[in-house]
Amino acid sequence: MKMETLPETYELETIEQLRAVAAELRLRVIERLTLQAMTVTQLAELLGEAPNKLHYHVRELERVGLLKKVETREKGAILEKYYRAVAKNIMIPRTLLSSLAPDEVAAMFNEVVQPFFQGFTQAAEQLMHIPPEDQPGYVFQFSPGHFWMTRDEFAGVSEQIAAMLKPYEERRGREGEREQTILWLAYPTALAGAREAAGAMMPPTESARSLKQELVLQAGAARFTHQDLEKHLAQGEALNMYILGTCTFAGDVSPELVERAIVGFHLKGKLNASPEVREVLRRKGGEAGKKNP
């Protein structure tokens, strides 16, 4: 099959198109079809999804003009239809977003991003059950950071990251090769105010509303002392915590300090803390207070 050169970008034109791409699986479909034309069966095998499920999503993306059928081949009594994305990059113009209610925009972005966070959490949980000798083949990383740059500099960084990752878009058949999910997420810090992107799903408490949220994501054993929490407060930070494993708060940690220093608490595992601290953490949205009496 002759490979058609795709346009670099395509700007969404309708709200219907915007709603059509507000799903992580559909974005994966478009991503794969920017690389080469494929049938739904080939896509299903590559993505580990049921063909019937992908048929529905491919039809919807084709209907709104984000995929196109580029070739039909006859194989026995079956017609194989090959699909391709309309461009290498799908862009969302600001004018399209401005026509929606803020809550609807937030809901659509959350629907796209949330599966990545869920996958990250599930991977961390599964890693805890894999013997250490079998773990070297896995890469597990979370590296939040804050950087100062101009718009042009940011565009240059984005291009560099895309260029660095491009050689790894396809399987190469190398020993130890595994698929890695990488979420390149960036936003203007000032526009987020006191609510960091990872913590925006849970509103901050009044006592921590003026503080910058710091995401704490940890798998295994985590321990926090009075000094640890006071240090973050001194830096103007309130913690939004996601812990997989065992979480311990030292005996010198008071419920008042937890109230001031922690804006969100989410634990899947065991909690070691005083009853008073447990109660504060329960109100911070975590499951610990429910699962650990």
> Where is pLDDT greater, at 286 or 131?
131
Average pLDDT on 251-267 reads 91
270 by Cβ neighbours in 10 Å (0-12 / 13-18 / 19+) ranks as middle
In this prediction, what percent of the chain has a pLDDT beyond 70?
82
pLDDT at 211 over 70: no
pLDDT at 108 over 90: no
CA distance 27 to 64: 14
What's the pTM value of the predicted model, to 2 decimals? 0.51
Q: List the domains of the chain with CATH numbers.
A: 9-100 (1.10.10.10), 108-291 (no CATH)
Band (pLDDT 50/70/90 cuts) for residue 238 is: confident
156-190 per-position pLDDT tens digit: 888 898 889 888 887 888 887 878 888 777 777 76
Angle at 235 between CA 234 and CA 241, to 5 degrees: 100
Radius of gyration of the chain (CA): 23
Dihedral angle over CA of 170, 44, 60, 107, nearest 10: -70
pLDDT score recorded for residue 63: 95
Please give the mean pLDDT across all residues of the chain: 80
pLDDT at 201 over 70: no
95-99, 218-222, 261-265: which has the highest mean pLDDT?
Answer: 261-265
In this prediction, what percent of the chain has a pLDDT beyond 90?
27
pLDDT score recorded for residue 84: 95
Q: Which residues of 223-254 are buried (b: 16+ CB within 10 A; e: fewer)?
A: ebeeeebeebeeeebbbbbbbbbebebbeebb
pLDDT at 99 over 90: no
